[in-house]
Amino acid sequence: MAPLIEIKNLAKTYGNGFTALKGVDLTIDKGEILALLGPNGAGKTTLISIVCGIVNATSGSVSVAGHDIVRDYRRTRGMIGLVPQELTTDAFETVWATASFSRGLFGLAPNPAHIEKVLKTLSLWDKKDSRIMTLSGGMKRRVLIAKALAHEPQILFLDEPTAGVDVSLRKDMWNTVRELRESGVTVILTTHYIEEAEEMADRVGVINNGEIIVVEEKAELMRKLGKKEVVLTLNKPLKSLPKALAGFDLTLTEDGSKLAYAYATTGKRTGITRLLDTLAAQNITFSDLDTVQSSLEDIFVSLVEDGR
Amino acid sequence: MNFYGMWAIYRFEMARWARTLFQSLVSPVISTTLYFVVFGAAIGSRIAHVEGVSYGAFLVPGLLMLSLLTQSVTNAAFGIYFPRFVGTIYEILSAPVSYLEVVLAYVGAAATKSIVLGLIILATASVFVPLKIAHPLAMAFFLVLTAFTFSLLGFIIGIWADNFEKLQIVPLLVITPLVFLGGSFYSVDMLPPFWQKVTLLNPVLYLISGFRWSFYEISDVPVGVSIAMIGVFLSVCLAIVWWMFRTGYRLKS
């Protein structure tokens, strides 16, 4: 199947000389949730802005469903909904008016039933006649999502959708995004929160200094780069590691009460059985055993640091 | 053409107008009324007729132009500047609307507002002075074309301005003096010969002259010249807007 969005060698240098993107290649498939992770200034927003038509690319090309975003801008923009990072809303308009405005702006005939459905999904229905300026920050964020969904887009860009949003609203939003995906919408979200990518995404792209460092299936990425650790809580603290254990990648905590063994999940043999046998032979007993898997956050940090 | 898109922008702009009806409609009407009371009734009663027209009546086309020009420019400038200022412009830029459609919608809305305002001022004026419109069609032509051209100028200013001061500076420091010195309150014949020549450099003179001709068939310059001058303004403004969009000037980085 041809990718829904195809980004080829996309570069952007701003007027002040700052290069935000250095030849990015990326394909996005229909129906997936792709999370773009990256530190501030990595180029996430620039990338989204080019695809949506807000920023002109310096070089490279982007096609959406086979249509070039510059030549066929009407067709490609009509397919895309954008939720910007900043809470940029009109102050005096009502929620209903602003959502209806967005639908019209994207060239669609009024459809009150659809607007009603969107507002209800986002728990905005009882606020439909409120002026936007009277709403809280979280509510404004939902208004922006409602505006982006008003024209029934096939692709939704969420630029840091949960920045500054409280935990319960964040969970609500995740559910909304999942529902959208189930209805066939392709979702691209940028985020600082690794937790968010881990929770939501099918694939994760890491972007840093204007370059895509890695794009992988989330599970694959964690498997490839992930490490696991077995942590044993010892019955008697050890002063130092016995010689018999020298061949293992072990760390002993300062007080000698815990022993951590790191192993790669990709290896055929983990060495755990051999370690436990060796411990038994040395009469080292333990009262508890934990396994810890490295999170996307650890992976992200190591990727970004390697890139520096 | 994305008609729904244009209609959405147009309606948005008109709704903004309706919310600030007092500021955008009542205050120009009040200030025009003051002009009539002061210049028309109080001072005008001591001024002889100008080319056979009472001074109060002579003032009407000029005053109308004054409001038309300043309101067209300020309205259109604010209309496009504000979304840029608060950031909501992202939605216009990411929508499937062409630049032509964006211009038509914003400028059309601003022109509509100033035309409505012009008609209200005309109605207000008819209360104070006996009004005669010799060529109603020509009058409508000048009214609509001027409103559209100066809304276009306002649109340009709204894109050029990067702060509120710049937004105000053109209407205050350029438009208002040009209108005052463009024969709103006097006929060019009343000036000394040297200043008559200088006045001819003022583009607004041609608008007021043509407009006054459509009322009373008196003009400072031939009416054909006035029409040509509006054509020149319009072309210059269109060329600038075309260039702005082609380069993404202050809209797209």
Residues A246-278 pLDDT 10s: 888 888 888 888 988 888 766 677 888 888 888
What residues of B are in contact with residue A107 (Cβ under 8 Å)? Answer: 2-5, 95-97
**Cα A194 from chain centroid?**
7
Alpha-carbon dihedral sign for residues A216, A220, A225, A230: positive
DSSP string computed for chain B: --HHHHHHHHHHHHHHHHHTHIIIIIHHHHHHHHHIIIIIIIIGGGSPPBTTB-HHHHHHHHHHHHHHHHHHHHHHHHHHHHHHHHSTHHHHHHSS--HHHHHHHHHHHHHHHHHHHHHHHHHHHHHHS----S-HHHHHHHHHHHHHHHHHHHHHHHHH-SSHHHHHHHIIIIIHHHHIIIIISS-GGGS-HHHHHHHTT-HHHHHHHHHHHHHHS--SS-HHHHHHHHHHHHHHHHHHHHHHHHHTTTT--
| B192 Rama sector, left if φ>0, alpha if ψ -120 to 50, beta otherwise | beta
Min Cα–Cα distance to chain B from A141, Å? 13
Which amino acid would we find at residue A191? T
Domain boundaries, chain A: 5-222, 227-294
Inter-chain CB proximity A53 and B86 less than 8 Å: no
For residues A78 and A107, is the Cβ–Cβ distance under 8 A? yes
CATH number of the domain located at residue range(s) A5-222 in this protein: 3.40.50.300
What residues of B are in contact with residue A75 (Cβ under 8 Å)? Answer: 96
The answer to whether residue A97 neighbours chain B at the CB level (below 8 Å) is yes
- On the 0-12 / 13-18 / 19+ scale of CB atoms within 10 A, B75 is buried
Q: Which among B21, B218, B205, B240 is positioned nearest to B113, based on CA atoms?
A: B21
Residues of chain A under the 70 pLDDT cut: 224-226, 265-267, 294, 296, 307-308
Q: Which of B5, B93, B252 has the CB atom closest to A106's CB atom?
A: B5
What residues of B are in contact with residue A55 (Cβ under 8 Å)? Answer: 252-253
- Write phi, then psi, for B161 (nearest 5 degrees): -65, 135
Residues 6+ apart with CB under 8 A from B100: none
What residues of A are in contact with residue B96 (Cβ under 8 Å)? Answer: 73-75, 77-78, 106-107
Angle at B161 between CA B156 and CA B167, to 5 degrees: 90
Domain boundaries, chain B: 3-247
What residues of B are in contact with residue A56 (Cβ under 8 Å)? Answer: 248, 252-253
Class of domain A227-294: alpha beta
Min Cα–Cα distance to chain A from B178, Å? 35
Which amino acid would we find at residue B145? L
How far apart, in whole angstroms, are the C-alpha atoms of residue A28 and residue A50?
A: 15
What pLDDT is stored for residue A62 in this prediction? 96
Pairing of strands A155-159, A80-83: parallel
How far apart, in whole angstroms, are the C-alpha atoms of residue A201 and residue B96?
A: 28
For residues A220 and A187, is the Cβ–Cβ distance under 8 A? no
* Span B4-46, pLDDT tens digits: 999 999 999 999 888 888 877 788 788 888 888 887 777 777 7
Average pLDDT, chain B: 89
The answer to whether residue B51 neighbours chain A at the CB level (below 8 Å) is no
Check: complex ipTM more than 0.85: yes
Residues 6+ apart with CB under 8 A from B30: none
Min Cα–Cα distance to chain A from B145, Å? 27
How far apart, in whole angstroms, are the C-alpha atoms of residue B142 and residue B136?
A: 10
Q: Which of B11, B87, B95 has the CB atom closest to A77's CB atom?
A: B95
What pLDDT is stored for residue A225 in this prediction? 67
Minimum mean pLDDT range among A163-167, B86-90, B148-152, B247-251: A163-167
What residues of A are in contact with residue B92 (Cβ under 8 Å)? Answer: 105
* Span B58-107, pLDDT tens digits: 888 988 998 899 899 999 999 999 999 999 999 999 999 999 999 999 99
Residue to mutate among A105, A131, A158, with most B CBs inside 10 A, is A105
Please give the structure tokens belonging to residue B186. Answer: 């006097």
Residue with tokens 């990411």: B94
Dmax over Cα atoms in chain B, in whole Å? 60
What pLDDT is stored for residue A214 in this prediction? 87
Alpha-helical (H) ranges within chain A are 44-52, 73-79, 95-105, 112-121, 137-149, 167-182, 194-200, 218-225, 272-281, 296-306
Query: 3-class DSSP state for residue A204?
Result: strand
* Span B173-228, pLDDT tens digits: 888 888 888 888 888 888 888 888 888 888 889 989 999 999 998 888 899 999 99
Q: Which among A77, A166, A185, A176 is positioned nearest to A119, based on CA atoms?
A: A176
Please give the structure tokens belonging to residue A148. Answer: 């982006």
Inter-chain CB proximity B96 and A15 less than 8 Å: no
What residues of B are in contact with residue A52 (Cβ under 8 Å)? Answer: 93-94
Min Cα–Cα distance to chain B from A76, Å? 8
Establish how many alpha carbons lie within 13 A of residue B135's alpha carbon, considering only the half-sphere containing its beta carbon: 15
What pLDDT is stored for residue A31 in this prediction? 93
How far apart, in whole angstroms, are the C-alpha atoms of residue B155 and residue A34?
A: 39
Establish how many alpha carbons lie within 13 A of residue A165's alpha carbon, considering only the half-sphere containing its beta carbon: 23
How far apart, in whole angstroms, are the C-alpha atoms of residue B118 and residue A295?
A: 67
- On the 0-12 / 13-18 / 19+ scale of CB atoms within 10 A, A305 is exposed
Please give the structure tokens belonging to residue A127. Answer: 């606020």
For residues B175 and B78, is the Cβ–Cβ distance under 8 A? no
Please give the structure tokens belonging to residue A120. Answer: 């209800």
Residues 6+ apart with CB under 8 A from A230: A260, A261, A263, A272, A275, A289, A290, A291
Please give the structure tokens belonging to residue B76. Answer: 């259109």
Residue A152: which H helix or E strand, with range? none
Min Cα–Cα distance to chain A from B252, Å? 5
